[in-house]
Amino acid sequence: MSSRIEQIIEEIEEYVDSCKFQPLSSTKIVVNKEELEELLRELRMKTPDEIKRYQKIISNKDAILADAQEKADAIIRDAQEKAERIVSESEVMQKALEQSHQLIDDTNAQAQELIDNATADSNNIRLSAISYTDEMLENLEKIMTHSIDSAGQKYQNFVNSIQSCLDIVTRNRSELSPQVPPSSYSSVESISDDSETDED
């Protein structure tokens, strides 16, 4: 079952795919800021809970190791009891002693194998949790970076549009000045100066 963070990321991707393109553009889209911020806000709230859940999984490593150690100790105790019975009941004490030593060695090897397997399992769980958490944060980082870049590009396009209009107005005024009749040029220039003074 997917986590809520994965669901939110899918919702953000679906929302972005559903947005309309800006006029005369095949790459830029128009988004509802409040709707996108609501999804990001929920994602920000859910992220700590998701990380805590995987931290809990990681903490289970200690329980796995403790359980393995307990089983290993029980096996060793059982082997020692068997060894003591073999020694006490055997007619050939030396042979019984050798058998008991071999049994203890085999048991220690089994116990160590249990501990090694438990350690490997707990490490795999920890690495998987860390990898998954990092993947979620990476997706969130990409989404936020894309949002910042998109906002910056929209602002730059707005500034460029204003600058273009200003250039047209300036060029039109420049083209208009030579066409004024000589007799009225001074008065037009005076009016223009007064207008610029008022604007200042």
Average the pLDDT over each of 11-15, 72-76, 83-87, 160-164 and give the range with the smallest value: 83-87
* DSSP for residue 135: H
Nearest CA to 77 among 102, 117, 111?
111
Q: What pTM was estimated for this model as a whole?
A: 0.36
Site of tokens 């249990």 = 114
Q: Which residues fall within 8 angstroms of residue 137, CB to CB, at 6 or more apart?
A: 47
Q: For position 116, what pLDDT does the model report?
A: 92
Average pLDDT, integer, range 107-132: 88
User: Domain ranges in the chain?
Assistant: 4-173
Q: Between 93-176 and 4-18, two packed helices, what is the crossing angle to 10 degrees?
A: 30
Top pLDDT among 150 and 1 is at: 150
CATH number of 4-173: 1.10.287
Is residue 26 helix, strand or coil? coil
Q: For position 163, what pLDDT does the model report?
A: 92
Average the pLDDT over each of 23-32, 156-165, 173-182 and give the range with the smallest value: 173-182
Quote the CA–CA distance of 82 and 80 in Å, as a whole number.
5
Mean pLDDT over each residue of the chain, to the nearest integer? 78
Q: For position 112, what pLDDT does the model report?
A: 93
